[in-house]
Amino acid sequence: MNKTLFVLIIALFLLVLSGCNEDSKPSDDNDTTGDTASDTGASPEIVDIAYTAQHLKRIQSLQTMTLSQVSGIFVLVQLQVPEAAQMTSGLTSAVSVFRMTYQTTYNNTPVLASALVAIPASNGPLPVLAFQNGTNTVKAKAPTENYQDVAMQMVSASAAFGYVIAVADYLGFGESAQLVHPYLCREATVTPLLDMLQGIVELDEDTTDALQFSLSGDLFLLGYSQGGHATMSLHEQLERTPDFPLVLQGTAAGAGPYNIAAVNQYMVSQTEYPMPYFAPYTVLAYQSLGFVTGDLNLFFNAPYAAAIPALFDGTKDADTINAGLTTDLSQLFTPAIYAVAAGETTADETALAMQNAFDTNSVPPFASTVPIRLSHGTADTYIPSSSTVAFQQAMIAAGTPAANITVLEIPEKDHKGAAPTAIVDAIRWFGELQGN
């Protein structure tokens, strides 16, 4: 495998784990003492530029990683993969990391959002790799807020290998932290991602060339778990947007809840479901956008309904929230919501609204003209691997050529354990698509 691709794989894998587990530790070492511009090939100048473009509003420097710093960061990769000891010889470029503020909309209202953008010290032309991370409930762990996190620094440094890397702060995080995060809400996820990409294009078109980079026009999408749902939702929209300024070349999505109703049926079929926090996170999002209405006690039994708002205050991680709930979903959900989650017919208005929300926010099967690579661990107890196979078959039935959508089933790996193999496969596959 290409050395640079290998290091990028490990970095993205660690970001997946930081999104799903919410337990990575921040780095306190951002000392640039002794580094010089000649050591980096990048200007140490601090950038803070306001823009008046349709989407792009501001670019602010977060950090400049010198070549020696980038090399030092990837020494940490060896802690995860000892075979990476010889991989740092492929590092050749410094990286500048920025916080991009851009205009988007939330529930038909203009809002500002933010994204982390990492650009190598290279003249390009460079493809864009948009990475959609896994579920996060902690506001302080948004990519642009937590950019010194070890996993995020590794992702940023990976731009040195020839990508402009973009990692969105989903709405509800970063610049838009005042909003309720629209968890698994398709339109409220896709619109900001499209506007983020438009902002990067506008940055490339900046006549002052302040950041000194150029785009090739190619786009690759990669996401895992919640990011898998976001990635496939974005892909579907791009297929319906032929005049978009970036050309999608390939999409890799792992272990996503593409069919939300089917995933909920699986959840309630389990005697104990290990991640109960997914359920109230979804309901809170649906409430915020008007998909469902009414108090939480229409959805959840006591004492959980009263506890949920404080659990989701933006400071608590998945483990903490789960500890305040129950893994027995028959005790968590009210009977009507439990019935609709199980796929039963109901006349309850709240349950029917929930059912409609599941359908609206699932990724609809579509005819893709762009290659898709799906992946899933066969021992996944959060989202069943059968749901990914079913999604593949639905896509083929909708007109996607069978050769255009493949599934990598990863034997005996659970949701977390399948992530490295999924990402190794995705990056290898991106290289094949580019003829590398």
Instruction: Record the tokens describing residue 14, joined without a space.
Output: 């660690």
260-361 is a CATH 1.10.260 domain? yes
Q: What is the pTM of this model?
A: 0.90
Per the CB < 8 A criterion, the answer to whether 154 and 130 are in contact is: no
Q: Which of the residue ranges 152-156, 159-163, 208-212, 267-271 has the most confident prediction, judged by mean pLDDT?
A: 267-271
Closest CA to 301 of 272, 334, 276, 323: 334
CA 42 to chain centre: 28
Q: How far is CA 269 from CA 139, 260, 266, in A?
A: 32, 14, 5
Q: How confident is the model at residue 247 (pLDDT cuts 50, 70, 90)?
A: very high
Residue 3, pLDDT > 70, answer: no
**Among the residues of 205-311, which ranges form H helices?**
226-239, 260-269, 278-288, 304-311
pLDDT score of 401: 98
pLDDT score of 16: 54
Q: How far apart are CA 358 and CA 184, in angstroms?
A: 9
- Using DSSP, state whether 413 is helix, strand or coil: coil
pLDDT tens by residue, 81-119: 444 454 455 466 888 999 999 999 999 999 999 999 999
Q: What is the spatial order of strands in the sheet that 126-132 belongs to?
A: 48-50, 56-65, 95-106, 109-120, 164-168, 126-132, 215-224, 247-254, 372-377, 405-410
Q: How far is CA 428 from CA 127, 252, 405, in A?
A: 15, 11, 16
Per the CB < 8 A criterion, the answer to whether 275 and 392 are in contact is: no
Exposure string over 103-112, b if 16+ CB within 10 A, otherwise e: bbebbeeeee
pLDDT score of 67: 79
pLDDT score of 161: 75
Identity of the amino acid at 131? F
The residue-averaged pLDDT of 306-334 equals 98
Per the CB < 8 A criterion, the answer to whether 58 and 51 are in contact is: yes
Quote the DSSP letter at residue 45.
-
Closest CA to 388 of 370, 409, 361: 409
Given the DSSP bridges, would you call strands 95-106 and 56-65 parallel, antiparallel or unpaired?
antiparallel
Q: How far apart are CA 411 and CA 405, in angstroms?
A: 19
Instruction: Record the tokens describing residue 197, joined without a space.
Output: 């990409």
CA 221 to chain centre: 10
Looking at domain 3-258+364-433, which of 2.40.160.40, 3.30.420.480, 3.40.50.720, 3.40.50.1820 is its CATH number? 3.40.50.1820
Domain boundaries, the chain: 3-258+364-433, 260-361
Q: How far apart are CA 289 and CA 259, in angstroms?
A: 19
Residue 41, pLDDT > 80, answer: no
pLDDT score of 318: 97
H or E element that contains 242: none
The residue-averaged pLDDT of 202-219 equals 90
Phi and psi torsions of 164, nearest 5°: -85, 115
Q: How confident is the model at residue 43 (pLDDT cuts 50, 70, 90)?
A: very low
Per the CB < 8 A criterion, the answer to whether 420 and 14 are in contact is: no
Q: How far apart are CA 75 and CA 11, in angstroms?
A: 12
Closest CA to 156 of 141, 174, 145, 143: 143
Long-range contacts of 327-332 (CB under 8 A, 24+ apart): 327/272, 327/273, 327/274, 327/276, 328/271, 328/272, 329/267, 329/268, 329/270, 329/273, 329/276, 329/279, 330/268, 331/301, 332/276, 332/279, 332/300, 332/301, 332/304
Return the ∠ at Cα 363 (arms to 360 and 368), rounded to 5°.
135
If you write DSSP's letter for every residue of 108-120 in order, what string do you get?
Answer: TEEEEEEEEEEEE
Residue 385, pLDDT > 60, answer: yes
- Domain 260-361 in the same topology as domain 3-258+364-433: no
